[in-house]
Every structure is written in C-alpha cells, then in structure tokens.
Amino acid sequence: MNADIGFMLICSALVFFMTPGLACFYGGLVRKKNTVNTMMTSIFIIGTGIVMWVLFGYSLSFAPTDNGIIGDLRWFGLEGVSTESGYTESASIPNMVFCGFQMMFAIITPALITGAVAGRMKFKSLFIFIIAWSIIVYYPLAHMVWGAGGLLGLEGLGALDFAGGDVVHISSGVSALVLCILLGKRRDYNHASYRIHNIPTVMIGASILMFGWFGFNAGSALAANGQAAHAFMTTATSAAAALLSWMLCDIIKNRKPTLIGACTGIVAGLVGITPGAGFVPIWAAVIIGLTTSPVCYIMISYGKKKFGFDDALDAFSCHGTGGIWGGLLTGLFAKESIGGYEGAIYGDWAQLGAQALGIVITVVIAVAGTLICYGITRLLTGKIRVDAKDEILGLDITQHGESAYPSFNGLE
C-alpha cells in the first residue's frame, strides 16, 4: 500500500501542475492586453477549487448514496475521510489520498472553460460562474461516472471513462461552447491584425500539460500497477501520433508545419486518449492520436466559421470535440485483457452504445447546467460581458490593474 500511496501523491502533484501549465498555454495564445486576465482565470481556481473541495465538493462528488446522481454532506470539511481505509473496500489507497488526487481534477476542469471566453468576460462574473458550475455540473458528473453506484459509470449505464473524457473534457468543452455563444463574439473577432502574442509560452504550457497528463492518466489506475504503466504508454503514444497528424494537417492546408499546431496536436491527442487510456491497446492509441487531431483541426478551421461561434482558444474544438471522439473510440477499441471490458471490434457492440449514450447525457447535463449557471451569474453580477471600452483597452488593466508587459502601451 505504501508504494501505491507514494505513487498517487506524485500523480496528484503532476495533475496540480497542469493548471499553471494551462495558464501558460492559454496566456500565450491571447493578445498582449489580455495575458494577465487569461492566466488569472486559471490560477484563481486553485483557490476556489481547493476550498470548495475540502468543505463540500469531495462529499458531493464521492460520498456514497443511493440516488446515483450526487453525494451527501457526510464528509463536510473532510470529516470522516479516512487516512487508512479506502474509498471502496477493494481500493489500494486510503480515502484521503483518493480525495487529494480527485481534487486536482476539480481544479483544472472548470479552468478549461475559460479559454472559450477569453478577452470579453468580467472577472467577477467568471468567478461566480465557475463556483456555480463546479456545484451544478462537475460534482454531479463526477459522482455519476466515478462515484460508487453512479448513474453513468460501471455500476450504472456502464460507460467507460478512465480518466475524464465525460467528466473533464466533454463537460468543460460543451459548457465552453454554450458560454461563448451566450456572451457573443469578441469585438476584434476576424480582425486581420490579430496574432498569437507569445508562441514560446504556448509551447512551455503544452509541455507542462503533457508532463502533468502522465499523472492524470496513469494515476487514474489508482495504484502503482501494470494498468498505470499501460495508461502511461497509451498517453505518450496518442500525444505523439496527434502531434504528427496535426503537423500534416498544417502542411496540407498552409504548406508549412507550425509550432502552435504541434502544441495543439499534443493537447488534442492527450484529450482523445483520456477516456480509454487504461482500456485500449497501445496500437489503438496510435489510431486515436492520428484521428483526433484531424477531427479537432476541422472543427477549428471550418466548424467555427460554419456555425459562427467564437471559441477564442478552442476549448470546445479541442476538449469537447476530442473528448467525444475519444469516448466513442474507447467503446470501439476497449480490450478485456487490459481493462476488463470489451469494445465493439472484440464483439461487444453494446459498449459502443453505452459510450454514445453516456456522451449524450453528459452533453445534456453540461448544456442545461451552463444555462442555469449563466442565469445565476447574471442575477448576482448583472451584466456579464465587459464594456466595449474595457474590451478595447484590454482586461489586464481594466479588470486587474496589471500589465504582463509594463513597457507595452498599445492595444495589441
């Protein structure tokens, strides 16, 4: 057990590091005048996410109940969460260790949403929205998919989600899409002079995300065992394949590979493999990575224009789209000798159906929950979008009184 505890604490720290990595990734993608605000929208969730998780988030997400939808408050303030016995009888790690690992997921998941609304949402409104979203969308979904007796998980519908296809990526991606549509497009959307302002920061962020993702996926085995090693390898394989296929997409469309494209491909491949990392063969991870990038690339390059939504940093286009694709391929490629469940190519077509139904239910919960959270936020904060003048000046100065580049005085 001690080896498992040590392994899981390391994985928890790796997952935590993903949130600062996301801040760098998103921060480099926006205009100079919105760098601080964009990074802040990830960093503040470290505060709210941990405090909420300790007080009531973990209990609502994982306290055992008979309703299959959400837990009760028996573990309020983590009272009664054991440092010796497991969350379930078969667990090889104490409940407190499992709580710490899952806490890191509760931090980064709502942070993913913020990329879709970069540059145009009041910080106080986003602050309220993220708190409401965690309670209304994330905690119930975590319980339904991973909690004991959850409605969508292995004891319910039977949808496979090894490390967060439904719970993390589809929920945040779909919510990001709904929120960016509600807010409307940026005032400089389609502006010819718009440029990603710091590509090296994007690369650093993507690298941190991949580094942390090994803890994200391998740690979801919840023990230092062979399944963790397998998840580690499928994670690396899918990310590598997706990087290459995104480069190919860039070459086909623009005749040149780009660093931004390579970094985005890494993230897309990581998203695609997340639901099946501990269930599918390693050769299948190659297919998942190779195909997830083109699917996300098409959504970014053509889908956004076709449907007219301003997903600023492609939160839906990568996480929502990639999560849906990866979830379906998990139902196709899952192999019993790896994770205990068979996919369609091994004869169990019902598993593919369970994946599809789980995705549909997740989408419905995310859409409905986001609409409710948006309404609550408007009720509490009034106007959610910044004024036109503030948007032109940039959210760094107008929302925080800071500048990422003090010598910079322009409006880029």
Q: Is residue 269 domain-resident?
A: yes
Locus of tokens 């306290």: 63
Q: What is the pLDDT of residue 288?
A: 98
| Amino acid sitting at position 213 | W
Q: What is the pLDDT of residue 192?
A: 47
Q: Is residue 185 domain-resident?
A: yes
Query: How many domains does the chain divide into?
Result: 1
Locus of tokens 């986003």: 126
DSSP for 78-101 reads GTT--SSSBSSTT-SSBHHHHHHH
Q: What is the pLDDT of residue 187?
A: 86
Instruction: Please give the C-alpha separations between residue 175 and each of 85, 111, 120, 369, in angstroms, as whole numbers.
Output: 36, 11, 16, 8
Q: Is residue 175 domain-resident?
A: yes
Q: Is residue 410 domain-resident?
A: no
Q: Which residues constitute the domain of residue 266?
A: 2-400
Q: Is residue 411 domain-resident?
A: no
Beta carbons within 10 angstroms of residue 200's beta carbon: 10
User: 266-321: per-residue pLDDT in tens?
Assistant: 999 999 999 999 999 999 999 999 999 999 999 999 999 899 999 999 999 999 99
Q: Is residue 409 domain-resident?
A: no
Residue 298: exposure state from Cβ atoms within 10 A (0-12, 13-18, ≥19): middle
User: 95-140: per-residue pLDDT in tens?
Assistant: 999 999 999 999 999 999 999 999 999 999 999 999 999 999 999 9
Please, are residues 77 and 57 in contact by the beta-carbon 8 Å criterion?
A: no
DSSP for 185-231 reads --TTTT-TT---S-HHHHHHHHHHHHHHHHHHHHGGGSSSSHHHHHH
Largest Cα span, the chain: 63
Q: Is residue 131 domain-resident?
A: yes
Q: What is the pLDDT of residue 235?
A: 98
Q: Is residue 406 domain-resident?
A: no
Counting as low any pLDDT under 70, the low residues of the chain are: 1, 190-194, 408-412
